[in-house]
Every structure is written in structure tokens, then in C-alpha cells.
């Protein structure tokens, strides 16, 4: 089996590191970061000798694929450069920072024929995968509504240690709307197989932060799918609230799921049954249904679990490596990445125009030019 050589861009975002190191015949051979101190610290720790401060210089090396873990405004320019250089790409979220970037990204993946995978690791958590299997088994009946919430105050990382404003002050909290939706969208969309988001409206209570930034103090984006299902996506990175970055709710015709909301809480499900009529439904622990957990999560090794998120950070990397080996685009392909990212980008247009209804383009192969637009 040919060894796959990986280059990592962005030494602060190393969530894939343990997964890469745990897979046979995969080698991290290069690292790149503008900050030479961080670069050397990370490369010394991992044992990587090929170090670059210029991304294009790393692309001239013999790496087969790159992991892009740089600030979000760099994702598309670097992904396009890598694709043009004949490298496969795994990109952290979000996929891009403008609608034009999303269209360019799709065009380049199609033009150069390399693998592109979206590193949305929240869908790989065991709980999300367990509920996905239970949906497929019909336990919830027909799912028709879901919620995803990302509560994460990032005030402490809006500036660098030297006092300068970080990129997050501009590309995240310097924007209106739901700028970071995919950790919420990704998991809930696992429970609506074969569906896609077609339209959104975004609502906001306004800007209540005291640091002079434009980001709303919580946004709610209502998403309608092609099959008529409804998603409620909330992002809040400015309010005074304990972290809760992975709250989810699913409602189906026969039952529901609700994730835990704090440390002592538990993931729970409830179903209609002979011993539980609809007017007297009771909560049960999700863990009581672990027989439905996919085998690779059920039998994950300690090494795989140690990669992070109960094995999720290993399996997302494994899927990327398998896609490269098989030369087959993964489920988290460029079109999925662009659909979920577009929800956030277009939410800014919606929230600044009184929750205006906005259509989400249908990202797909050979998308016609006349559809690469924003409909008002």
C-alpha cells in the first residue's frame, strides 16, 4: 500500500493530528504556518522536518494531500491553490467566506478531479451517529423537525496575546448573522437522509455586546428543506452563557431525541409505545440504545477514541484517507460543504433585511451559470 504523505497548514488547528498518526501508511511530512514560533513548536512535537511559512512553497513538496486548518478567510484560496497543484484537500469549517468563493471551489474540484472533504467533525460524534442509525431503523418514525445550537462565547480570542485584533474580530464577530452554522447543521442533516436545505430566514434580537462588534447576540436561522422539513439553527458567540456547543433536538412522528444541556444531564429519547402512549411518554437514556451504534464506533479501540470526540476525530480522517486511496469523493463533499456554508453566508443578508426569505442554491456537479446567483 502506497504511503500517503500529508501536509498540514495552520499549526493551531490540529484536531486531525491523532487520527492521522493512528492510520497505517499515512505520514505527516510537512507543516506550514505564518507564525514561525508556533510552527517550530508544533513540528518539533510531531517530528516534522519540512517546515514552511509560505503555503505555496509547501505545495511544491511531495505531499499527496493537505489539511487546511488556517483562518476561515484562507480556506478557499488555499484549497484552490492545492487543487491546482494536484493535491487532495481536507478543509476545516467553514468552506468559504463569500458566495463567489463557494462557486469557485465547486468549479475547481470538478476541473482538477482531486478529492475535497469538509472537516465537519461534529457529525462524527457517537451520539449523532447513534441517533442517525435509530432514524434509519425507524424508531422516530418520520423526522420532520430538528434544532441545533452552538453557544460559545469567543470574547477571549478576539485578540492575540500581543494585543492585536485577531481574524475572528472581522470574519466572525465583525459580521452579522449566523456566521458559523455547520457544527449545528451538519449533525441534524444526518437525520434527514437524501434531503437538502432550500431556503432560510434569519432572526436576531440585535447586537448587545459591549465590545463594539457587529455580531448579533444570538441568531436563529429557520431552514426549510426540499422535502418540507424544518430546522432551527442557533449560533451565539457573544452572549454571557456557559459553553454549549453541541445541543440538538430531533422530533419525529413516533418519538424524539434531546441532547444533554449541562454536565450532569444526559442524552435522552422518548417513543410512543404500548407502555408509553403519546399522552404519557417518558424519557429514556440514549445510552440504553447503544446496540444501534455503528460497529466502528461500538468497537472503537482506545487509540481511536483518544483521537477525540469518542473516536469521531479518527473516523473523519479515516474517511478522508479512504477517499484518497479509492479516488472517490466522500459523503462530506464540496457540494455539501457549500450548501451548509451558504446558510451562514446568506443569513447575513436575511437578518439585515428583516428576516427576508432567501433561497439556497442547489450546489451540484456542473451547476449552470444562471443558478450561481443569490435570489432576493
Sign of CA dihedral 340, 341, 344, 346: negative
Within a domain: 97? no
Within a domain: 67? no
Residue 314: what pLDDT? 93
Residue 76: what pLDDT? 98
Residue 140: what pLDDT? 98
Give the Å distances, CA to CA, from 188 to 184, 251, 255: 7, 11, 15
Residue 14: what pLDDT? 79
Long-range (24+ apart) CB contacts under 8 A made by 54-63 are 55/9, 55/81, 56/81, 57/32, 58/7, 58/9, 58/30, 58/31, 58/32, 59/7, 59/85, 59/87, 60/85, 61/7, 61/29, 61/30, 62/5, 62/29, 63/5, 63/6, 63/7, 63/29, 63/30, 63/87
Nearest to 347 by CA among 247, 243, 193, 232: 232
Nearest to 139 by CA among 276, 332, 300: 276
Residue 263: what pLDDT? 83
Per-residue pLDDT tens listing for the chain (376 residues): 689 999 999 998 778 888 898 898 999 999 999 999 999 999 999 999 999 999 999 999 999 999 999 999 999 999 999 999 999 999 999 999 999 999 999 999 999 999 999 999 999 999 999 999 999 999 999 999 999 999 999 999 999 888 999 999 999 999 999 999 999 999 999 999 999 999 999 999 999 988 889 999 999 999 999 999 999 999 999 999 999 999 999 999 999 999 998 888 999 999 998 778 888 899 999 999 999 999 999 999 988 988 888 888 999 999 999 999 999 999 999 999 999 999 999 999 999 999 999 999 999 999 999 999 999 8
Residue entry with cell 494531500: 65
Question: Could you tell me the residue range of the domain that residue 164 belongs to?
Answer: 123-294+333-376
Backbone angles phi, psi at 334, to 5 degrees: -65, -30
Within a domain: 16? no
Nearest to 185 by CA among 337, 16, 373, 357: 337
Residue 216: what pLDDT? 94
Cβ neighbours around 183 below 10 Å, total: 22
Within a domain: 43? no
Within a domain: 215? yes
For the stretch 69-113, pLDDT in tens is 999 999 999 999 999 999 999 999 999 999 999 999 999 999 999
Query: What's 273's DSSP letter?
Result: B
Residue 248: what pLDDT? 98
As a whole number of angstroms, the longest Cα–Cα distance in the chain is 65
Residue 308: what pLDDT? 85
Query: How many structural domains is the chain composed of?
Result: 1
Angle of the 334-351 helix axis to the 99-112 helix axis, nearest 10: 170
Residue 324: what pLDDT? 98
Residue 87: what pLDDT? 98
Within a domain: 246? yes
Within a domain: 307? no
Within a domain: 81? no
Give the Å distances, CA to CA, from 215 to 32, 101, 210, 239, 319: 30, 22, 11, 10, 34
Q: Which residues have C-beta within 8 Å of that of residue 330, sequence separation ≥ 6?
A: 115, 117, 319, 320, 322, 323
For the stretch 269-279, pLDDT in tens is 999 987 788 88
Q: Which three cell numbers stand for residue 302?
A: 482506545
Nearest to 180 by CA among 160, 213, 154, 206: 154
Question: Strands 219-225 and 230-236: what pairing?
Answer: antiparallel
Q: Specify the pTM.
A: 0.96
CATH number assigned to the domain comprising residue 348: 3.30.360.10
Give the Å distances, CA to CA, from 61 to 29, 50, 113, 255, 281: 9, 9, 20, 53, 60
Residue 22: what pLDDT? 87
Q: Which three cell numbers stand for residue 40?
A: 517550530
Rg (CA), the chain: 21
Backbone angles phi, psi at 145, to 5 degrees: -150, 145
Cα distance between the two ends of the chain = 51
Amino acid at each position: 500500500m502506497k504511503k500517503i504523505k500529508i501536509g498540514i497548514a495552520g499549526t493551531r488547528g490540529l484536531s486531525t493530528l491523532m487520527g492521522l498518526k493512528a492510520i497505517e501508511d499515512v505520514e505527516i511530512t510537512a507543516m506550514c504556518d505564518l507564525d514561525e514560533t508556533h510552527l517550530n513548536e508544533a513540528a518539533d512535537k510531531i517530528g516534522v522536518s519540512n517546515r514552511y511559512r509560505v503555503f505555496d512553497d509547501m505545495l511544491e513538496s511531495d505531499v499527496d494531500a493537505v489539511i487546511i486548518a488556517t483562518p476561515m478567510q484562507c480556506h478557499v484560496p488555499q484549497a484552490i491553490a492545492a487543487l491546482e497543484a494536484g493535491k487532495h484537500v481536507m478543509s476545516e469549517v467553514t468552506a468559504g467566506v463569500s458566495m463567489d468563493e463557494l462557486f469557485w471551489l465547486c468549479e475547481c474540484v470538478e476541473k482538477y478531479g482531486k478529492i475535497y472533504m469538509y472537516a465537519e467533525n461534529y457529525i462524527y460524534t457517537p451520539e449523532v451517529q447513534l441517533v442517525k442509525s435509530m432514524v434509519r431503523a425507524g424508531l422516530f418514525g418520520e423526522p420532520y423537525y430538528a434544532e441545533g445550537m452552538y453557544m460559545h462565547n469567543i470574547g477571549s480570542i478576539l485578540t492575540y496575546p500581543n494585543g492585536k485584533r485577531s481574524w475572528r474580530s472581522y470574519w466572525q464577530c465583525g459580521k452579522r448573522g449566523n456566521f458559523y452554522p455547520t457544527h449545528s447543521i451538519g449533525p441534524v442533516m444526518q437525520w434527514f437522509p437524501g434531503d437538502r436545505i432550500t431556503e432560510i430566514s434569519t432572526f436576531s434580537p440585535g447586537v448587545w455586546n459591549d465590545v463594539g462588534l457587529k455580531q448579533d447576540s444570538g441568531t436563529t436561522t429557520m431552514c426549510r428543506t426540499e422535502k418540507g422539513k424544518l430546522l432551527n439553527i442557533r449560533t451565539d458567540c457573544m452572549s454571557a452563557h456557559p459553553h454549549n456547543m453541541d445541543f440538538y433536538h430531533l422530533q419525529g412522528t413516533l418519538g424524539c431525541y434531546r441532547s444533554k444541556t449541562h454536565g450532569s444531564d444526559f442524552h435522552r429519547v422518548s417513543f410512543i409505545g404500548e407502555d408509553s402512549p403519546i399522552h404519557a411518554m417518558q424519557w429514556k437514556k440514549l445510552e440504553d440504545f447503544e446496540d444501534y451504534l455503528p460497529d466502528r464506533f461500538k468497537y472503537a479501540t482506545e487509540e481511536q477514541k483518544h483521537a477525540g470526540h469518542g473516536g469521531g476525530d479518527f473516523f473523519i480522517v479515516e474517511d478522508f484517507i479512504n477517499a484518497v486511496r479509492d479516488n472517490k469523493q466522500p459523503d462530506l463533499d464540496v457540494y455539501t460543504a457549500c450548501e451548509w456554508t451558504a446558510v451562514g453566508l446568506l443569513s447575513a443578508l436575511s437578518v439585515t433585511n428583516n428576516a427576508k426569505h432567501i433561497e439556497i442554491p442547489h450546489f451540484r456537479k456542473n451547476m449552470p451559470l444562471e443558478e450561481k446567483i443569490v435570489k432576493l
